[in-house]
C-alpha cells in the first residue's frame, strides 16, 4: 500500500515538473483542473494574463511617448527595448481572428476585473454575428458600466445582428443617470439597435418632455415602425412640443412609408407652423426615397 502511494506521489510530482518545463502541458493541467475553456491550447487563465500584459504595455507606451500616467521608469525602458529588439507582447488581435476564442472571451466577460471585461468586450466585437452565443455576457457587461461611452455605441453598431428583441430596458437604466453624455449615448444606442429596443418606447415618450427630447425623438425614429402606434397617439396631443417631436420622428423613420405619409399628411393642417414644416419635409423625403428606389429597380 505504501509503495503504491509512493508511486502515485512520484507520478504526480513528475507530472508537475513536466508541466513547469513544458508550458503547453502546464496550462493544460491548470485549465482542466479549473474547468476553463481553451483557445490555442491555452485556458482562460492564460488569456487573462495575456490581456493584463497588453494593458500594462499600453500604459507603458503612454508614459514613454505621451508622458501620460506618470514618469518613465527604468523598467519601462527595459521592457520597451525587450519588446522592440527581442520580442515581447503580441497584439491582442489573436483573440479577434478565430471563432474558437469566443468561449474564452465569454468567460473573460465574467471576470472580476472591469478592465479585463472591457478588453474582452472590445475583442469580441470583431467576431460579429459569430458572437451571438456570448450575448448574455455582453449585456451583463453593459449593465456593469457606470457610464455608456460613445465607443460602446460604435461597438453596438458592429454587433447589431446579435441583439435580438427587447433589450431597450437595459439602456433605459442609463437614462436616469446624472451624466448627460451617458444619457445621450444611451439614446443613440437605442436608435442603433432599432426594433430590438422597442420595449424602451414608453420611456422615450416620457423623455419628450425633458431636455433630451431631441435625442428621444431620434431614438424613436431609429426603432422604426414599431413606434408608430405610440407616435400616432401623440399627433393629436394638446401639447405642441409632443406633436412636433412625434411628427419629426415619423419624418425621420424608415419603413412603413405609406402609413407614415398618411399620418404626416394630416399634420400639414396643424395650427403650428413648425409641425406643418416638419410634416412637409417628411412627405418630401418619403417621396424622394420611393423615387430613388424605383430608379434603382428599373
Could you tell me if 204 and 220 are in contact, meaning their C-beta atoms sit under 8 angstroms apart? yes
Q: Per residue in 116-128, pLDDT tens?
A: 888 888 788 777 7
User: What gap in Å lies between CA 197 and CA 38, rounded to an integer?
Assistant: 34
Residue by residue, DSSP assigns 209-224 as: TSTTHHHHHHHHHHH-
Q: What angle do CA 223, 228, 231 make, to 5 degrees?
A: 105
CA distance 247 to 228: 10
Q: Which domains, ranges and CATH numbers included, belong to the chain? A: 14-51+92-144 (no CATH), 224-298 (1.25.10.10)
| Percent of residues, the chain, with pLDDT higher than 70 | 85
Residue 118 pairs with which residues in a beta bridge? Answer: none
Q: Assess contact for 132 and 122: CB atoms under 8 A.
A: no
Q: What is the pLDDT of residues 11-40, one digit of tens each?
A: 666 656 655 556 777 778 878 888 888 888
More confidently predicted of 157 and 263: 263
Give 71's pLDDT tier (boundaries 50, 70, 90): confident
Residue 218, pLDDT > 90, answer yes
Cα distances (angstroms) measured from residue 116 to each of 211, 268, 292: 35, 54, 47
How does residue 69 score in pLDDT terms, banded at 50, 70 and 90? confident
Q: What is the pLDDT of residue 76?
A: 67
Does residue 111 have a pLDDT over 80?
yes
Query: Residue 87's pLDDT is what?
Result: 53
Model-level pTM greater than 0.85?
Answer: no
Helical axes 273-297 vs 240-252, angle rounded to 10°:
10
Task: Name residue, grid cell 454587433.
Answer: 159
Mean predicted lDDT score pLDDT of the chain: 83
Q: 204: burial class by Cβ within 10 Å (0-12, 13-18, 19+)?
A: buried
Q: What is the mean pLDDT of residues 138-162?
A: 72
Q: What pLDDT does 13 receive?
A: 67
H or E, element range at 42: strand 42-43
Work out the end-to-end distance of the chain between its first and last CA atoms, rounded to an integer number of angstroms: 88
d(CA 254, CA 250): 8
| pLDDT band with cut points at 50, 70 and 90 for residue 137 | confident
Give the Cα separation of 179 and 175 in Å (integer).
9
**Position 41 pLDDT exceeds 90:** no
Say whether pLDDT at 157 is over 80: no
Q: Which three cell numbers stand for residue 70?
A: 506618470
The highest-confidence range among 38-42, 165-169, 220-224, by mean pLDDT, is 220-224
Task: List the single range of 160-164, 194-198, 234-238 with lowest mean pLDDT.
Answer: 160-164
Q: What is the mean pLDDT of residues 238-242?
A: 94
3-state secondary structure of 126: helix
Q: Is pLDDT of 89 > 50?
A: no
Instruction: Evaluate if residue 207 carries a pLDDT over 90.
Output: yes
Amino acid at each position: 500500500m505504501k509503495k503504491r502511494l509512493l508511486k502515485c506521489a512520484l507520478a504526480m510530482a513528475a507530472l508537475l515538473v513536466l508541466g513547469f518545463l513544458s508550458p503547453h502541458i502546464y496550462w493544460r493541467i491548470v485549465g482542466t483542473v479549473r474547468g476553463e475553456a481553451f483557445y490555442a491550447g491555452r485556458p482562460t487563465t492564460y488569456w487573462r494574463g495575456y490581456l493584463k500584459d497588453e494593458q500594462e504595455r499600453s500604459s507603458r507606451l503612454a508614459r514613454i511617448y505621451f508622458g501620460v500616467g506618470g514618469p518613465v521608469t527604468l523598467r519601462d525602458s527595459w521592457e520597451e527595448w525587450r519588446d522592440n529588439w527581442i520580442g515581447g507582447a503580441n497584439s491582442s488581435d489573436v483573440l479577434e481572428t478565430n471563432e474558437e476564442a469566443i468561449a474564452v472571451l465569454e468567460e473573460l466577460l465574467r471576470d472580476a476585473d472591469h478592465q479585463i471585461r472591457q478588453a474582452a468586450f472590445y475583442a469580441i466585437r470583431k467576431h460579429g454575428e459569430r458572437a451571438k452565443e456570448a450575448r448574455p455576457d455582453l449585456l451583463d457587461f453593459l449593465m456593469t458600466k457606470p457610464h455608456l461611452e460613445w465607443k460602446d455605441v460604435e461597438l453596438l453598431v458592429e454587433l447589431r445582428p446579435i441583439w435580438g428583441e427587447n433589450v431597450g430596458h437595459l439602456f433605459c437604466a442609463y437614462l436616469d443617470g446624472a451624466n448627460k453624455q451617458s444619457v445621450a449615448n444611451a439614446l443613440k444606442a437605442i436608435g442603433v439597435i432599432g426594433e430590438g429596443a422597442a420595449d424602451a418606447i414608453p420611456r422615450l415618450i416620457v423623455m419628450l418632455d425633458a431636455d433630451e427630447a431631441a435625442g428621444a425623438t431620434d431614438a424613436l425614429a431609429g426603432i422604426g415602425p414599431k413606434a408608430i402606434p405610440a407616435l400616432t397617439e401623440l399627433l393629436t396631443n394638446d401639447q405642441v412640443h409632443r406633436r412636433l417631436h412625434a411628427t419629426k420622428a415619423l419624418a425621420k423613420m424608415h419603413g412603413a412609408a405609406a402609413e407614415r405619409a398618411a399620418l404626416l399628411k394630416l399634420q400639414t393642417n396643424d395650427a403650428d407652423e413648425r409641425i406643418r414644416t416638419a410634416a412637409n419635409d417628411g412627405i418630401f423625403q418619403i417621396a424622394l426615397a420611393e423615387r430613388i428606389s424605383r430608379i434603382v429597380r428599373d
